[in-house]
């Protein structure tokens, strides 16, 4: 769950995390346009609920993609979001593409000998039938390698998710200032 801690400001969920509704310039026409899946509450800001939209791509629901802002000179970044598989068969997130990085990777960060290590996820991230997977800091995530420019707070960028069932989903990633949020693990 993500909670924000900005002083004196109430965050509007739609402005905080949004998903693209259509295609970004330069994206492929084969990507499926999302349908409105409603909203979910992911936390609160000064006691007010923070809701984010859920975009549906057939049997796949993608919730609130976000990335941490990076410093000038940073060459890597991370992207986090929720995925729900509403089908009766396993679906895998196979790859991710975005113009803000030269390459991407699907990674996990398990503790190995009491040290968190970045480990590539071979064969994609499995989402079980009727199940959900949360990509978050310290766990499963999308690594952005070779950033073309720093990720600036408040900006957004496009990202395409490729799934094993043939779905190609265009989403928009919101960039957050690390100092303006805190992550709560459940």
Q: Where are the alpha helices (DSSP H) in 9-124?
A: 13-16
Those residues whose C-beta lies under 8 Å from the C-beta of residue 85, and which sit 6 or more positions away, are 59, 60, 91, 127, 128, 129, 130, 131, 132
Rounded average pLDDT over 115-134: 95
Query: What is the rounded CA–CA span in Å between residue 137 and residue 161?
Result: 19
- pLDDT, tens only, 14-35: 233 333 333 333 333 344 555 6
Question: Would you say residue 93 has pLDDT above 60?
Answer: yes
Domains and CATH numbers, the chain: 2-183 (2.60.40.1890)
> What's the pTM?
0.75
Distances in Å between the Cα of 28 and the Cα atoms of 66, 159, 162 are 21, 11, 12
Query: What is the rounded CA–CA span in Å between residue 119 and residue 104?
Result: 13
pLDDT at 167: 94
Query: What is the rounded CA–CA span in Å between residue 149 and residue 75?
Result: 8
Rounded average pLDDT over 96-105: 98
């Amino acid at each position: 769950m993500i909670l924000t801690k900005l002083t004196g400001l109430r965050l509007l969920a739609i402005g905080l995390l949004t998903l693209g509704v259509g295609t970004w310039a330069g994206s492929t026409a084969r990507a499926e346009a999302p349908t409105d899946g409603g909203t979910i509450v992911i936390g609160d800001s000064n006691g007010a609920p923070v809701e984010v939209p859920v975009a549906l791509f057939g049997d796949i629901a993608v919730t609130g993609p976000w990335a941490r802002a990076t410093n000038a000179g940073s060459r890597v970044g991370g992207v986090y979001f929720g995925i729900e598989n509403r089908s009766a068969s396993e679906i895998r997130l196979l790859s991710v593409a975005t113009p803000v990085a030269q390459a991407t990777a699907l990674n996990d960060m398990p503790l190995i000998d009491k040290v968190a290590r970045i480990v590539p996820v071979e064969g994609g991230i499995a989402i079980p039938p009727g199940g959900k997977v949360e990509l978050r800091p310290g766990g499963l995530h999308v690594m952005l390698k070779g950033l073309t420019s720093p990720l600036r707070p408040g900006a957004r960028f496009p990202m395409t998710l490729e799934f094993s069932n043939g779905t190609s989903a265009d989403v928009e990633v919101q960039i957050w200032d690390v100092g303006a949020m805190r992550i709560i693990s459940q």
